[in-house]
Amino acid sequence: MFLYEKKKHKKDGHEYIAITGFEGSIRKLVVPAEIEGIAVEEIGNHSFSGRDDIESVFFPESIKTVYGFAFHNCKSLREISVYDGIIDYYDGVLRQCDSLKRIDVAINNGRYEIIRNFLADVDRTLSFRIKIREEDGSTDEALLTFPEFLYDFNENTMARTIQFSIGGSGYAYRECVDRTFINFREYDKLFEKAIIDGSEISESIALGRLLYPYKLEGIYREKYEEYVSANFGSIFNRMIDESSESQEELEYVGRLLDYRTKSDRALFLDGHIEEGIKRATDGGKTLLCAVLVERSRKTDGGFEEFNLL
């Protein structure tokens, strides 16, 4: 049961609900849009701080304000879904949420500030699934991964100064996000720096841009394709090993296998699919194996008689 209080807005006096907590245990926290017929507009200070049961959070579009440390130190929190209507975001909302990996954001009003705020609050790697509503009413999607970064402080005793440097490409990637737009061209230009950070990060960036190519220019598409093709074996193995076989993950794998370059070429070789089927079978991942077998039949029919048992 949600704990809450009724408030009056300081500017126009309208009544709204402020969430102050939740009584009981809950894994998937779905904040209601209304309580007692009154719009829920605020998540209060420290409302869910320190809880270890919450794994996912969904904010309705009515939320306008998230106060400081609302989800601070929620160690099990892995994903969040929000809208771009959040106007006021205070410090430390997601501080020490060490399991957080992905945030889904619906951009209905052209405001990207909520993404910028999340990135300023979290210095670890974060992925954003962004659904963008265009001016003509159509929608498009982008999947962006922002690498981690860290501040490195060094004391210069001779000069009696503290010098600091920033490690990792994550800070530069964060600079691509402004209040009202994301500079996708600058994001894509940074890929060479991401490669230095490690294969898992660069793989996630490349796959996200290729499979959800919102505002992806041809020159960068070719670079991403070259990278994924050259590393498809390791990329595919990691996807199989880490798969939980959720519907979303299965669709993601299917999208990757259906992908074609401008010259109508797949990113993988037949041997990758054959090895992937064996790997999925050995791991007991029957749903994933079925997806791989189906895609292999679409390509050349080479595994029609593959035994899943």
Residue 183 has pLDDT above 90, yes or no: yes
pLDDT at 168: 83
Section 114-119 average pLDDT = 96
Are 175 and 190 contacting, i.e. CB atoms less than 8 angstroms apart? Answer: no
Section 263-273 average pLDDT = 93
Whole-model pTM?
0.90
pLDDT at 164: 56
Exposure on the CB side of residue 79, measured as CA atoms within 13 A: 8
% of the chain residues with pLDDT over 70:
91
Structural domains in the chain? 1-100 (3.80.10.10), 135-230 (no CATH), 232-309 (no CATH)
Burial of residue 7 (number of CB atoms within 10 Å: 0-12, 13-18, 19+): middle
Long-range residue pairs from 163-172, CB within 8 A, at least 24 positions apart, any chain = 168/197, 169/193, 169/194, 169/196, 169/197, 170/123, 170/125, 170/146, 170/197
Secondary structure (DSSP) of 58-120:
E--TT--EE-TTTTTT-TT--EEEEETT--EE-TTTTTT-TT--EEEEEESSS--HHHHHHHH
Section 260-281 average pLDDT = 93
